[in-house]
Each structure stands twice: as C-alpha cells, then as structure tokens.
Amino acid sequence: MVALSGLWGFAYFTKPGTPRGREDKEWLQVFSIMMIILFAIIHAFAYLPTALFGGFSGFLSACRGRVSHAYSNWRDYHYCAALMVAIITIYPIISFFSLIVDGFNPYDELTTYEMRIEGGMQADIVYLLRVILHTFILIATIYIFVMLIVIVTIRHVQKYPGQYTGVALSMSKRPYGALFFEEGEYFDCGICLAGIWKGSDVVRLGCDEKHVFHEKCLRDQISGFGNKYCVICHAPV
C-alpha cells in the first residue's frame, strides 16, 4: 500500500511536458488507485461472504434471492446486501481489465502531431514505469488465472481424498498461492481443498493445529477409503 501510494504521489507531481507523457502519467495514477482498491477488495471478499452469509455458497444463494439461513423478514435485506457486495466487487475488477487493455495503447486519443512531440527525462521515466507495470500486471493476471484453473480442476477431478493435497500445498507456498489454498481453520480443508466456512463441522488433528478438515471429509476418508493417515503430513489420525 505504501509503495502504491508513493507511486501515485510520484506520478501526480511529475511534469512530463508532452501529450504522451501526460497519458503515461494518467495511466500510472489510475494503476496506483486501482491496485489499492483491488487489494482491499480481495481481503474484503475473503471475509465478507462468511460474515454476512455464512459462506461463499450462501453469498451466491443470496445473490439469487435464496437465503434459507436468514429469517424470512430479513430476506430482502440479505438479497440487497448480496447485490451490493457483488457490484462493489465486480466493478473494480472490470476497471482493472480496462486498465490492462488501455495499457497496450494509451495514446489512441492523441493526434499524429502530438505523438511526435519529444519529451525530457521525466517523460521517459513515466513511459518506462508504465511499460514495466503494465507488463507486470499482464503476467500476474495470467499467472493468477492459471492458478485458479489448476485449483478448481484438482478439486473436481481427484478420485480419492488427498490425491492432490500436495499440489495444493505447493501452490500455497507460491506468490499469491494463499488466495487459492491455505491450510488451517477458517481457511481450506486439505481433503476436499474447499473452504472451511463459519459454522462448519471440523476436526483438528493432533499432528498439527493447522491440520483442520471438514468432519464429513475426514469421515469419508477413513470409512470410505480406509485411509487413517493425515493427508498433509501422513501421521496416523
């Protein structure tokens, strides 16, 4: 956050002196603000669905107007709250992708004459910063999408409990990997790899306090597959 605030301040006080420099400066300012908002949205989105609706599935149900866990006279309020959370979350994400697209050619509104005007060192610096940061968010976006596809895929294709737990643990240790899987209570179950939401029935094993699983998942692992070992550290259950 501090670095992004510093980048915004640098872009704000920089005077490139050319139309191209002005567009680069504007892109850097928008980039700084959007990244700050996105960081806040990511953290809010990780906790708000659980706090308001008991879990992400409850949040989606509320968006569709199906809030079975709420009192009947609170149904409309939960429905409106879900829509507000969804809109507040979706709008910055759409703006973020618009920022990526704009970064390929932020000069599309400039005339040929304006494009030919040469700038000084400050114009070169803001141009270089825009190119570097645009490349970074482009690569980071592709990386995050790949991580998302991998975690969703292994959740649905595993044939027995814990088959891809090692893959999920490896992902969690990579940059931004904790967004998709993190072991521990109120994070993710190491057996089904899905989230442990507020109110879920869980079991904490004695091998490690972070080795917390859905009670149903652990029961199915032991009774259905005969596996009596922790899927994370392989200690006896």
pLDDT in tens, 99-122: 899 889 888 888 888 888 887 888
The pLDDT value given to residue 154: 92
pLDDT level of residue 74 (50, 70, 90 thresholds): low
Same domain, 81 and 179: no
pLDDT in tens, 28-42: 999 998 888 877 777
pLDDT tops 70 at residue 46: no
Same domain, 181 and 153: no
The pLDDT value given to residue 52: 63
pLDDT tops 70 at residue 231: yes
Largest CA distance in the chain: 75
Structural domain span for residue 87: 2-157
pLDDT tops 50 at residue 70: no
pLDDT level of residue 183 (50, 70, 90 thresholds): confident
Query: Phi and psi dihedrals of 57, rounded to 5?
Result: -65, -40
The pLDDT value given to residue 63: 65
Same domain, 59 and 96: yes
pLDDT tops 80 at residue 62: no
- Which of residues 131, 157, 183 is at a domain's end? 157
Q: Which has the minimum average pLDDT: 86-90, 165-169, 213-217? A: 86-90
- Which of residues 157, 175, 202 is at a domain's end? 157
Helix (H) or strand (E) holding 203, with range, is strand 202-204
What would the two tokens of residue 210 be?
A: 């972070």
Where b means 16+ CB within 10 Å and e means fewer, 66-83 reads ebeebeeeeeeebbebbe
- Which of residues 157, 184, 216 is at a domain's end? 157
Helix (H) or strand (E) holding 78, with range, is helix 75-104
Question: What's the total number of domains in the chain?
Answer: 2
What number of H helices and E strands is found in the chain? Answer: 9, 2
Mean of all residue pLDDT scores within the chain: 82
Full-model pTM: 0.74
pLDDT level of residue 71 (50, 70, 90 thresholds): very low
The pLDDT value given to residue 57: 66
Measured distance CA(162)–CA(208) in Å, rounded: 16
